Amino acid sequence: MSETTKDLNTIDNRGSLTTDPMRSFRFRAKFQTAQGSVFNTAITSFSGGFSGIGGLNMQVQPIAYREGGYNSTVHQVPGMTSFSPVTFSRGMLYGNDSAITWMRGLFAVTSGEGLSVGDTDGANSFRCNVTIELMDHPNANGTTNVPKVGFYLHNAWIQSLAYSDLNAGGNELMFETMTLVHEGLSIAQLTSTGAAATGSKKPLGFA
């Protein structure tokens, strides 16, 4: 095979859908109670599209120590893992009050009025698991909305809720932004059926 043919094959392979990076604007989010049961009344309608999701990152705190006999260098060992809060933004929809209902449920927890973290059926838990699915390329292989990558937030709960400023002289949409804190972030590549691909691992307890 000539060098020219090799170069053309390389260009063809790089221009195919299988080698294109994933589109970050094709995603959806699904919420379920942390115990795996059906959505509770506070978060039942949280499913579908958001305008933006940010904060999908994790970091491990290094612990430095010195060892006798090797005191010319500092050893580094992994310590605690921390996860950044994740923000979800979308246009405020009339009739969809799930976010503020979830926040009111958290008020009940902090004031001791009702919701319990330890409910066995999850019906009154303010925590949930969140699945964020990154979709396949548009019209790839003749199919659409096929999840290819899954981001999984473990034991998340709503920390803050914010709305756009009101301005009679403006021409903007009303946005709702909620921030969730969580206790773990898992990432898995998926097959067309939603199962974990070879070499990847989908966490247990997620739909």
pTM (predicted TM-score): 0.78
Q: What are phi and psi of 86, to 5 degrees?
A: -110, 130
pLDDT tens readout for residues 66-92 = 888 877 889 899 999 999 999 999 998
pLDDT tens readout for residues 125-175 = 678 889 999 988 776 566 667 888 999 999 898 899 999 999 999 898 999
pLDDT tens readout for residues 16-49 = 666 778 888 888 898 887 554 433 444 444 555 7
Q: Which CATH class is domain 23-189?
A: mainly beta
Look up residue 82 and give its two tokens: 């921390």
Per the CB < 8 A criterion, the answer to whether 125 and 33 are in contact is: yes
Distance in angstroms (rounded) separating the CA atoms of residues 115 and 101? 13
